[in-house]
Chains A and B, each alone.
Chain A
Amino acid sequence: MEQFLSLFFFIDKLPAWVLAAGMRWGIDMACLCALPNFFNLILHFIIGGIIVIMLMQYGIRKNFFLPLLLLGIMFSGVSKFIDWIQNMLTATGNTVFFSYNLDLLVEALQFIGIAIIFYYIFRSLFASKPSLTKPSNL
């Protein structure tokens, strides 16, 4: 089991100066704790931005496809933000930070977010052929 874990957690194998740099600056090169979460958070901002631009371009449709998609990405984004905070506390602290309650909150928010996103994308994909699509299908 230890060998299996060491595949995932190579933090102990890193030189001390790399660990020290990670903890000092929170740049997170030491344990890759929060860096991937940070990229995910940025992606959520980019997607949210694209949806806002599309909202301005196409306007709010009858069945609120874009606003609800934005709501979904906001839920997912908040969950990723909390996840990032958890991992950042590990990156900048002296020990691994993990809270079961925060983990529950992260998963619950993610569940709500993706449920909204998947439902509305599915609905859009299930709409009739593009040539026959009515405006209300958006």
Chain B
Amino acid sequence: MIPTPAPAPLLNVILHGAVFLFVLSTFVIALIVWIRRKRETMPAEESESWEIFVLGLFFYMVSEFSDLFTPSLRASLGMHNYFTEFALLVGLAFIFIAMRRRLLIVSEAEQGEQP
């Protein structure tokens, strides 16, 4: 039942690699921007949104790293699937918490500006 690893088609490897590299680069960029902006005395609530977003990206990146092995294993079962999917679950949840926080902050700011 355990699938033996086999060379995966190049296209599958490239696409899995592209998704991983995309998330990795987004994570690195977000981390650098957040740290640089934090030094420039970023407001606390804005910094929190960035923090949650970066944390979410980290989990998403870990999930995609694990998913890199799926084509060569020709499956995602057991602990491999459990790890991949739950890391993605946590990452996506954090990313959307950050998005919602940001939206609420902006919305409150808008209401404050209205006469």
Contact = CB atoms under 8 A, between A and B. Distances in A.
A37 B71 contact: no
Interface residues of A, number: 56
A127 B77 contact: no
A125 B49 contact: yes
B78 A124 contact: no
A33 B11 contact: no
B76 A107 contact: no
A116 interface: no
B49 to A, nearest CB: 6
12 contacts: A9-B2, A9-B79, A11-B1, A32-B79, A32-B82, A36-B81, A36-B86, A40-B88, A107-B16, A115-B22, A122-B26, A124-B102
Q: How large is the interface on B (under 10, 10 to 19, 20 to 34, 35 or more residues)?
A: 35 or more
Interface of B: 1-3, 5, 8-9, 11-12, 15-16, 18-19, 22-23, 26, 30, 33, 43, 45-46, 49-50, 53, 60, 70-71, 73-86, 88-89, 92-93, 95-96, 98-100, 102-103, 105-110, 112
A56 interface: no
Contacts of B49: 125
Nearest to B18: A111
A43 B92 contact: yes
Contacts of A36: 81-82, 84-86, 89
B77 A31 contact: yes
A45 interface: no
Interface of A: 1-2, 5-12, 31-33, 36-37, 39-40, 43-44, 47, 50, 54, 58, 69, 76, 83, 87, 90, 95-96, 98, 100, 103-104, 107-108, 110-111, 114-115, 117-118, 121-122, 124-127, 129-133, 135, 137-138
The majority secondary structure among interface residues of chain A is helix
The majority secondary structure among interface residues of chain B is helix
Contacts of B70: 103
B26 to A, nearest CB: 5
A130 B43 contact: yes
Contacts of B23: 114
B30 A122 contact: yes
Contacts of A87: 76-77, 81
